[in-house]
Chain A
Amino acid sequence: MIMRYRLNTTTASQSKESIWVALRRLVPLMAGEGRSIAIAFGAILVSSAATLTAPLIISHIVDRFITTGDYAGLLTWSGLLLCVFLVGLASGYTQTRTMGGVGRRILFNLRNAIFVKLQDLPVAFFNQNRSGDLISRINNDTDKLNQFFSQALMQFLGNAFLIVGAGILLVALDFRLGGAALVPAALVLIVTQLIGGWVKRASYKSLQSLGGLSGEVQESLANFKVIVAFNRLDYFRDKFARANTANYDASIRAGVASNLFIPLYGLASNLGQLVVLAYGIMLVSQGQLTVGLLIGFLLYVNSFYTPLRQLATIWASLQLALAGLDRISEVLALETDMAILDTTAVTGTALLAFENVSFHYPEGENVLHDVSFALERGKTYALIGPTGGGKSTTASLMARLYDPTGGTVQLDGRDIRSFTPQERTAKIGFILQEPFLFSGTVRDNIRYGNPAMASVDDAALSAQLDAAGLSDLLGHFRDGLDTTLTAGGDAMSLGQKQLVAFIRAALREPELLILDEATANIDTVTEQLLETILEHLPATTTKVVIAHRLNTIKDADEIFFINGGTVTPAGSMQNAIEMLMHGDMTS
């Protein structure tokens, strides 16, 4: 069975879960934060209490002392007010500091979790998702969460407390007046519910169109030489103009939708004040309420609506963060289907054997069908066949980049799936068709991922390279081992990259070395040098060579012809050429 790793990129199936369900996903990442969270919550309570007590004291001062002219009482109670403000200062700092720290650490853990998951997923995951999409998804979404954690989360929690606290006080102080003050808030929340879907869809579309825009730019700029050489700057401009206009339209629509919230909550705030004043003045004139209490009430209405208005301003960033969390969770929910099996019985003596192996890519036809063959130690095998015939796929199965969809691959007589990654990768060296280099120096890249070379100093590394005859290849690099690679890697030719990949693999001295068109862009003189180096590998090294150039396969002990789902031993070089010349080359 082939696992589907393709991530959802359509608008249709956004999760409909509430904010709280989404936030609950973060719970496992909060392990060990219990104490900090308790402190932060304590601080939030104290600071909200301080914020809410102040108006109470002020209205008391107005009623008791100002209206009665008691200046001494006013001073005493003002001292109390100052103490409350100081408590607010201390608890405010503690709250922001601890909660912010918690947020930062959650983000840190979340990023680590994503990265570990990425490292855990097999190659199929990366092939089923466009690399550009994946990079943008992971970079942008963590960034949105970053913004949420660093700013909005604290505001969100703090404001939520203030709203609840102020709401309770309003009702507690005066049931009728408080209830009346909350009516506009209730109305505005209902409206929010009603138009929420519309706003979310509009925002989502605008994000998508932005993704489309950067996709266009990325593709066109990466292929700029083709656009220039084929006179298609008009194509570049047109395609961009279309994406730019689409983004403009979508952004305007999103802006018109999401900008409704701030004025709406402002309106609610004003209506709240109006209701309190009109109703309050009526109550005062009936003698059921004091003026001081009314002034205090007005302040509470502000304490209630100001955080609500602030929630409206961070609402958009909260929605974005939740959408980002959704998409990250989608990656986190994937599980690799390439488990390590328990050690199985040893059968056979071949280094590597295919037993009735079939393979197809998801939604594809069989690339290999019921294929069996064995590779003996110390021999050289060549895989030939027309382009698209399945040579690279066969090689990938040998290194367990994929698992077969049927049959088994045996390494050292055991199911290759029963090896730990360490054991397996120590035995197998693979030079890929598309060489990949990390930013850094040639030395860094040669050392990369080689446990034996990790602790070796530069001199010892050079000695190793000399011993393996690899030093001669370094002349192809301007500064030898110290030649640096930039991120784009444009300064280095394809041939040079292939050389680095070759040195990296040869230095590991694997038992099985697979070269997948590994020297296609290297000149034949250098290639001869590579052959010499290969000959000097230990006699037990098994080599598998995929190449179009006949000279690179001339020394093979056996040649396999791969096409149409079958792997056929060619017997002799001459026969192999016959098969190549007359085989069906375009299937």
Chain B
Amino acid sequence: MTQKNKHWNLSPAPESTGHISLKERYGVFIDGEFRMPDHGNVFSSVNPSTGEVLAEITESSSAEVDQAVAAARAAFTGEWSKMGGGERGKYLYRLARLLQEKSREFAVIESLDGGKPIRESRDVDVPLAAAHLFYYAGWADKLSYAFPNRSPRPLGVAGQIIPWNFPLLMAAWKIAPALATGNTVVLKPAETTSLTALKLAELIQEAGFPPGVVNVVTGHGNVGAAIVNHNDVDKVAFTGSTEVGKMIQKAIAGTNKRCTLELGGKAANIVFDDAAIDQAVEGIVNGIYFNQGHVCCAGSRLFVQESIHDELIEKLKHRMGTLIVGDPMDKNTDVGAINSQEQLATIEQYIEVGKQEGAEFYQPDCELPQVGFWCRPTLFTDVAQSNRRAQEDIFGPVLAVQTFRTVAEVIQKANNTPYGLSAGVWTDKGSKIFNMTSQMKAGVVWANTYNLFDPTSPFGGFKESGFGREGGLHGLSAYLEI
């Protein structure tokens, strides 16, 4: 008997959410305890895939920021900066292990709060966050080996402001090197995604860190501004938009605050005609549709050598057709919800501009849920270097495709942007990779892969994508007087 099996569709495979614990309302985390301010100024954290309110978050006042900085200062001048590196490392190791133990809960909350697919928060965000904590825990007692013949000293209180695209991971990127080097921290998560930072604060409590070593204040941009402008903050670390990055630089000009900025990007992902084409297609998809394109290093400008353009685009469209867009909590979802209504409006506006600019537009024909914020994976071909969507950071699942003929041409075009965070090169030829990587003005250049992260590898930008490096040995020096 032969059996016709046309249309084999996956059944729903929802990750259960019954095991998580969330409070109805969160205060701020200062001096080792959660404080519920009496001003009662709160806002809602919303699940972007359903519109459901997950918890009430405190809008911190300047008084709370003062308290947080004061607590961080007291902890710094108290025991934390004097503690041996080995002891500091133990705290970080403990935090890393606790995070691993609760990885499932953190993954679920990250997906509920931010809209990213559970597959990504489970397989990427949470394990990488733990890996960063483990990695920098290992450096804590080896700073004199990291910087031989120097006497590295911590800076003091670090004000750290993180974005909504990788809430927990960015918190770990910021906290881990700061604590390993003996600094104390005031952390502000993005207003749409505060939950995992607050859950991390619970773990910090559980790990028994001395009070005030890590403080978490929540709220909108004015809270971040209060941290940046605070007189007793020694270092500002910011990940977010270039626009805000410029404001921060202006704000701290003339002070002796140290600063690292990791800002926007408009990465060139370059595919040569000798590349392994199917694997390049996979890398293009991972480069731009990973985390709904809410990735500062997303490969949003695709440069294809003209001789393989048609074949590559056909394969790319085929692959886009297999992406499953929808419920972030379904284990089979590839592309989740757009993080907020505001961000969705921005993306849709760019798509509209793209259509008006006359490029060829493509989206796979997939069904979207009725409620929540959604954007299909989007492709624009026939894009010109002068088009807006080839120049501006859209921060969504929108790919602009341009063609090129020669190596010299593509290097020139790839570098012809105010940004310089990342780039990708696809070729089967090793010598071409070395030639390209040495000429790209980008902090990270991936060869035959994309969006691959590792705590040992420094990450950061050129030009308007910021300065300073996070990760690796370089990440330590951003928090040390050497």
Indicate, yes or no, whether A interacts with B. no
Binding site for A on B (CB under 8 A): none
